[in-house]
Amino acid sequence: MLNNIFNSVHVHKEQWYIDEPAAEIVRKIFNLCISGKGPSQIARQLEAEKVLTPTAYFNSVGKKTSNLMPTNIYAWRSNSIVHILENRQYTGCTVNGKSTTVSYKVHKKIEKSQEDYQIISNTQDAIISENTWLRAQELRRNKRRNTATGRRSLFSGLVYCADCGSKLHFCASKSLKKNQEFWRCSSYKDGRGTCTIHFIRDVVLEAIVKEAISELADFVRCYNSVFLYLISENKGAESVNRERSLRVKTESAKQRISDLDKLFSRIYEDNILGKLSDERYSRMANEYEAEQKRLISEVKENEKVLIELQKQTVDMKMLYQGLMEFTEMKHLTPTVVNKLIERIEIHNNEKKHSHNNVKVDIYFTAVGLFDIPTEQQLIDTMERAKQKKAEKSA
């Protein structure tokens, strides 16, 4: 199958190479996902473009597969697309610990949650980047909702109510022209719900978002060093220090877990040889076991935090990539929007019959809410950065 497109090189057991034609299809599937398409839509597009299914592809290149040859060699299934999109190993990592057994006596396998997987980075050549994979997972969690007309907004799945936190529904019908399509809070329910309407036309939202992205792209291009300084200032040096501290703490805990295994063996042998009483052995074993259990839990929590901290670096790369694409094209596409924006919040407009002055909060990838500095703020920031640099070199 395409979701297993690495093939062993027999010179070294763990050496792998990429089946490039199949890899191109994998990249295409991820790009289509980031452009806003769901698994079923991707499957239909691949079929329309006469892309061979995984089984048909393997048969065409003379590789054995346990699957029966499909009647329609281009008929992709949506669950095949889902399986490919969920496969993290395309980023060049190895994923271990996907399952465990009930006990050493009962060998029935139990699937673990993804949070408990062991991820080993850079074990093979990557087909897609880590940020592409992460963004695809995020977009799939925020599934798009089709309208009765089948039309979608560029911002489907990203728009939320600033007051109640519910998603806003994109409203389009045959009776509405494109410039009349609008958003409203899903909790409004024609005035019978728990929230106000939070109305905004889609064309107005698109104009606001486009202007905000354009301003951010111009600012980053002209004042990149200031932009990076502001981001580091907002996140604080404690974020970097925290990551460093967590890594040291986690490695130390892992070493102690390993040492405790050796201590278990040692006191067990001493007990068998009569060097350690049963009472003392039991007390020490319980203490070691409690400590090891605590450390294992601590390592698991630390690794979750470290993954989140690493994601911030990955997201920054995604932001730069999206800004570059927008600068080149000067118009919005689903791919650019999904790379640049994590969330859009719409405030309610208290003024009746005025829908062009709605407050909109745009949360950009990696940086969240970001206000372009005024001229004076820019001067002040550059002065702070200069002073900080002087302090470091002093």
What's the structural domain count of the chain?
3
Judge whether 102 lies within some domain: no
- pLDDT score recorded for residue 7: 43
Query: Does one domain contain both 251 and 343?
Result: no
Asked if residues 75 and 47 have their Cβ atoms less than 8 Å apart, the reply is yes
Query: Does one domain contain both 210 and 268?
Result: no
> Radius of gyration (Cα) for the chain, nearest Å?
27
Query: Does one domain contain both 137 and 250?
Result: no
Rounded Cα distance, 257 and 260, in Å = 5
- pLDDT score recorded for residue 311: 64
- pLDDT score recorded for residue 39: 92
Query: Does one domain contain both 19 and 89?
Result: yes
Domain boundary among 289, 315, 341: 315
Q: What is the per-residue pLDDT across 200-210, written as a single tens digit (0 to 9) for each?
A: 999 999 999 99
Query: Does one domain contain both 218 and 288?
Result: no
DSSP label at residue 117: P
pLDDT truncated to tens, each residue of the chain (394 aa)? 454 544 433 334 445 677 888 889 999 999 999 888 889 999 999 999 999 998 888 888 888 777 888 889 999 999 999 999 999 888 888 777 666 554 444 556 666 666 666 677 777 788 888 878 888 888 887 766 666 666 788 998 899 999 998 999 999 888 888 889 999 998 887 667 789 999 999 999 999 999 999 999 999 989 888 888 887 776 655 566 677 788 888 889 889 998 998 998 999 998 899 988 999 999 999 999 999 999 988 888 888 777 776 666 667 777 888 888 888 888 898 888 988 998 999 999 876 555 567 899 999 988 888 888 888 988 888 888 888 778 777 6
151: its two tokens: 């039309």
Rounded Cα distance, 219 and 161, in Å = 28
The Cβ of residue 261 has, within 10 Å, a number of other Cβ atoms equal to: 11
Q: What is the DSSP string of 9-61?
A: -TTSTT-EEE-HHHHHHHHHHHHHHHTT--HHHHHHHHHHTTPPPHHHHHHHT
Query: Does one domain contain both 281 and 210?
Result: no
Query: Kind of pairing, strands 159-161 and 341-346?
Result: parallel
Asked if residues 183 and 196 have their Cβ atoms less than 8 Å apart, the reply is no
DSSP label at residue 193: S
Query: Does one domain contain both 385 and 345?
Result: yes
Judge whether 148 lies within some domain: no
Domain boundary among 315, 330, 354: 315
- pLDDT score recorded for residue 216: 93
185: its two tokens: 């809070």
Entry pTM: 0.61
Rounded Cα distance, 175 and 111, in Å = 49
The Cβ of residue 369 has, within 10 Å, a number of other Cβ atoms equal to: 11
Judge whether 369 lies within some domain: yes
Question: What angle, rounded to 10 degrees, do the helices at 278-329 and 202-222 form?
Answer: 100
Residue 363's Cβ-count burial label (10 Å; 0-12, 13-18, 19+) is: middle
- pLDDT score recorded for residue 21: 87
- pLDDT score recorded for residue 240: 61
- pLDDT score recorded for residue 352: 59
Q: What angle do CA 207, 190, 197 make, to 5 degrees?
A: 35
Element (H, E) at 168: strand 168-171
Nearest residue to 69 (alpha-carbon basis) of 54, 50, 47: 54
Judge whether 6 lies within some domain: yes
- pLDDT score recorded for residue 48: 95
Rounded Cα distance, 24 and 133, in Å = 15
- pLDDT score recorded for residue 99: 61
- pLDDT score recorded for residue 354: 55
| Cα maximum dimension of the chain | 89
Beta bridge partners of 346: 161, 360
Range of the domain at 253: 237-315
Query: Does one domain contain both 202 and 322?
Result: yes
Query: Does one domain contain both 244 and 134?
Result: no
Q: What angle do CA 201, 203, 209 make, to 5 degrees?
A: 105
Rounded Cα distance, 1 and 22, in Å = 9
Query: Does one domain contain both 215 and 326?
Result: yes
Query: Kind of pairing, strands 118-120 and 94-96?
Result: antiparallel
Query: Does one domain contain both 135 and 44?
Result: yes
Question: What angle, rounded to 10 degrees, do the helices at 237-272 and 278-329 form?
Answer: 150
- pLDDT score recorded for residue 104: 43
Q: What is the per-residue pLDDT across 180-190, written as a single tens digit (0 to 9) for each?
A: 999 999 888 76
Distance from CA of residue 134 to its chain's centroid?
A: 3
Rounded Cα distance, 134 and 138, in Å = 6
The Cβ of residue 187 has, within 10 Å, a number of other Cβ atoms equal to: 19
- pLDDT score recorded for residue 93: 82
Residue 74's Cβ-count burial label (10 Å; 0-12, 13-18, 19+) is: middle
Which CATH number belongs to the domain containing residue 137 in this structure? 3.90.1750
CB neighbour burial string for 51-66, b if at least 16 within 10 angstroms, e if fewer: bbbbbbbbbeeeeeee
- pLDDT score recorded for residue 9: 34
Query: Does one domain contain both 47 and 132?
Result: yes
Domain boundary among 315, 334, 365: 315
* Torsion angle in degrees (nearest 10) through CA of 380, 384, 389, 394: 120
Long-range contacts of 2-11 (CB under 8 A, 24+ apart): 2/26, 2/54, 2/57, 2/80, 2/84, 3/54, 3/80, 3/83, 3/84, 3/87, 5/127, 6/89, 6/124
- In sequence order, which residues have a C-beta less than 8 Å from that of residue 1 and are 6 or more positions away? 54, 55, 58, 65, 67, 80, 83
